Amino acid sequence: MNDSEINRLFPGVDPGTIHYLRVLSAFHEGVTITDAQGTVLYMNEAQAKIDDLNIEKSIGKKITTLYSLDEGQSPTIACLNTGKAISNLPSFYRTHLGRVVNSIHNIYPITANNKIISTICYITDFRNIEHTFDTVMQAQPPHSRPNGVADKHQNGTRFTFRDI
């Protein structure tokens, strides 16, 4: 998005005064921003929770070091090298504490003056999807649930991501 597009959306607002990081900090999805070399510049709380990481200890580390990957395995490095977005990449990995993460990654290059200056990665953890789905299903009375889906505790016919 260039300044003219921002001015069209927010007439009279200086693009430099928009607090993007406040918005990213509030996301339920994990967000990581790296520089052009793959060094972590920003990580929100959701991302730290997904990957069992400490934000302060993660900032300034290369993404490959943080996740114990070589450059050929890192989708962030691939995005930096090709300049192409990586959309809906399914990922299955273990955190440094051994917990399994099953997620979808979307990584986008950020450019300035036709040069890649960083990436931004959004991660959706299936645990968040499952939690949201379970919350919605529990809020509905059994007779109003789609396709007659019953509560697992009543007759055992309802499956969750955890069951899979």
The whole-angstrom separation of Cα 45 and Cα 110 is: 21
- Whether domain 3-126 has CATH 3.60.60.10: the reply is no
What's the mean per-residue pLDDT of the chain? Answer: 83
Angular region, 113: left φ>0, alpha ψ -120 to 50, beta rest: left
Which burial class, exposed, middle or buried, applies to 80 when counting CB atoms under 10 A from its CB (0-12, 13-18, 19+)?
Answer: buried
Which range is least confidently modeled, 21-35, 45-59, 130-144, 146-160?
A: 146-160
| Residue in this structure with the two tokens 């300035």, named with its chain if needed | 112
CA dihedral over 79, 58, 101, 28, signed as positive or negative = negative
What are the sequence ranges of the domains in the chain? 3-126
Residue bearing the bigger pLDDT, 122 or 142: 122
Q: Which amino acid would we find at residue 80? A: L
- pTM, whole model, 2 decimals? 0.73
Report whether pLDDT(4) > 80: no
Q: How confident is the model at residue 155 (pLDDT cuts 50, 70, 90)?
A: very low
